[in-house]
Amino acid sequence: MTIRRLEAGPRMSQAVIHGNTVYLAGQVGAPGESVTIQTRAVLREIDDLLAEAGTDKSKILSATIWLADMATFGEMNAVWDAWVDPANAPARATGESKLATPDYKVEIIVIAALD
């Protein structure tokens, strides 16, 4: 079975496609911005990567969301709820974690299906 990598670099790829499944790397927004702005940027990146892979957010199977501070859960959810396809909401988990730098407030990882 073929493996296709999108935006591949020496350390990681932004997406890997194997069979009918697309695995996205964790996406982060511009460092230092608010959770709202970072979440919007992350979701735009997810939309773009899924489109490049040949799918879209209605095919997301699961999402893992890491927040630097769970106190921002409601702020992130406000952006997520406006973006997610309500007819095709994925399985989702959200947790608090120290991210790559203190300037990152949210990171989202998704797995999606291809048609």
Per-residue pLDDT tens digits for 54-70: 999 999 999 999 999 99
SS3 89: coil
Q: How confident is the model at residue 14 (pLDDT cuts 50, 70, 90)?
A: very high
pLDDT for 77 equals 98
- List the structure tokens of 46: 């997810």
3-113 to CATH, choices 3.30.70.20, 1.10.760.10, 3.30.1330.40, 3.60.20.10: 3.30.1330.40
| DSSP state at residue 4 | E
User: What's this model's pTM, rounded to 2 decimal places?
Assistant: 0.95
SS3 55: coil
Asked if residues 26 and 105 have their Cβ atoms less than 8 Å apart, the reply is no
Q: How confident is the model at residue 5 (pLDDT cuts 50, 70, 90)?
A: very high
Residue with tokens 């009918």: 20
- Run of H or E residues at 111: strand 106-113
Q: How confident is the model at residue 115 (pLDDT cuts 50, 70, 90)?
A: confident
